[in-house]
Chain A
């Protein structure tokens, strides 16, 4: 782990923390009177704000998790060099695709 990876992982953690808290707070607030999937989608679909909110979260998670798993793969599975970096980039791409697909699913009209 180099300083650049360390900083990227710490900064994405700092981004994720308030987003997680807000996600939970909104969830608790929104279900008070009972809530259906249609009502949720009614609020999120077409909303640039929610797209940016969850889009940012997905990007932060993907970077954070890819760096973390890169360390695990290096220390526990003995991967190194190009193989290690390729694995980390693959994880990053996979999480980005899965996450952004979900964000698109709830925010696209």
Chain B
């Protein structure tokens, strides 16, 4: 029988003040980072706190920092991130740590609401369903952002969020851009106003970490550029 291979895994323990704790974990042929965290909780330390739900990259619950990089852990293969038999798993950056690998996602979701990434209906449920041309320019722009799973990887990757806690962040702004381009949305001015404040889209330095790290390969930076163009045009229109 071949010798069992082990990897060394450092896992963040505690809240904002805490430390990395080392664990030896058995290596498998097919193993995700989430599998490793689950193994530690089941076989090494049942007090380890972490968050997950679907395990197939749909729910956006299991994002963590792996070797300093934000990743969806359920779809990240261990072999992709292991360096010399070691990896470090921590809670998402830019969010308050509740315990171990679980962060408080409230600031992240509160900013979605603050950015007016909400549907403002043009019609009631009694109206007939409006036909939307899938090839229309607005729909194409909106489609580009709708696969977001709210995992907060972009928010954790963003250096502007790190430097400016008021900044709404890539996910919320991308959502605002999608809603802005939705022809079924009635309140576009509210969206432009919401993304023009102190924490608005104009804080983005276009560093592009959001686009680099998004697990669904979306491009929030592009959406933010769209909002900048939209608000700039609106700036002149409103002055007429």
User: Using Cβ atoms and an 8 Å threshold, which residues of chain A touch B163?
Assistant: 74-76
B123 to chain A, nearest CB (A): 30
Binary flags per residue of A92-107, CB closer than 8 Å to B gives 1, else 0: 0000000000000000
Contact: B235 with A75, CB < 8 Å? Answer: no
Contact: A2 with B196, CB < 8 Å? Answer: yes
User: Using Cβ atoms and an 8 Å threshold, which residues of chain A touch B235?
Assistant: 3, 7
Q: Residue of B at shortest CB range from A75?
A: B163
Chain B residues 175 to 190 lying within 8 A of chain A, measured CB to CB, are none
Q: Which of B11-19, B111-119, B125-133, B198-206 contacts A (4 or more CB under 8 A)?
A: B198-206
A56 to chain B, nearest CB (A): 21
> A10 an interface residue at 8 Å Cβ cutoff?
yes
Select B198's contact among A2, A10, A75, beta carbons within 8 Å. Answer: A2
Contact: A75 with B160, CB < 8 Å? Answer: yes
Binary flags per residue of A47-75, CB closer than 8 Å to B gives 1, else 0: 00000000000000000000000010011
Contact: A3 with B160, CB < 8 Å? Answer: no
Q: Residue of A at shortest CB range from B160?
A: A75
Q: How far is the CA of A71 from the CA of B167 in the complex (A)?
A: 12
User: Using Cβ atoms and an 8 Å threshold, which residues of chain A touch B231?
Assistant: 3, 6
Contact: A3 with B196, CB < 8 Å? Answer: yes
Q: Residue of B at shortest CB range from A3?
A: B196
With an 8 Å Cβ cutoff, the count of chain A residues facing the other chain is 11
A15 to chain B, nearest CB (A): 16
User: Using Cβ atoms and an 8 Å threshold, which residues of chain B touch A7?
Assistant: 232, 235
Contact: B202 with A6, CB < 8 Å? Answer: yes
Chain A residues 10 to 51 lying within 8 A of chain B, measured CB to CB, are 10
> B85 an interface residue at 8 Å Cβ cutoff?
no
User: Using Cβ atoms and an 8 Å threshold, which residues of chain B touch A10?
Assistant: 232
A36 to chain B, nearest CB (A): 44
Binary flags per residue of B84-123, CB closer than 8 Å to A gives 1, else 0: 0000000000000000000000000000000000000000
Q: How far is the CA of A75 from the CA of B228 in the complex (A)?
A: 20
User: Using Cβ atoms and an 8 Å threshold, which residues of chain B touch A86?
Assistant: none
A23 to chain B, nearest CB (A): 27
Known: A1-B202, A2-B202. 18 other contacts (CB 8 A): A1-B200, A2-B196, A2-B197, A2-B198, A2-B200, A3-B196, A3-B197, A3-B200, A3-B202, A3-B231, A3-B232, A5-B202, A6-B202, A6-B228, A6-B232, A7-B235, A74-B163, A75-B163
Give the interface of B toward A (CB within 8 A): 160, 163-164, 196-198, 200, 202-203, 228, 231-232, 235
15 A-B residue pairings within 8 Å (CB atoms)? A1-B202, A2-B196, A2-B197, A2-B198, A2-B200, A3-B202, A3-B231, A5-B202, A6-B202, A6-B228, A7-B235, A71-B203, A75-B160, A75-B163, A76-B163
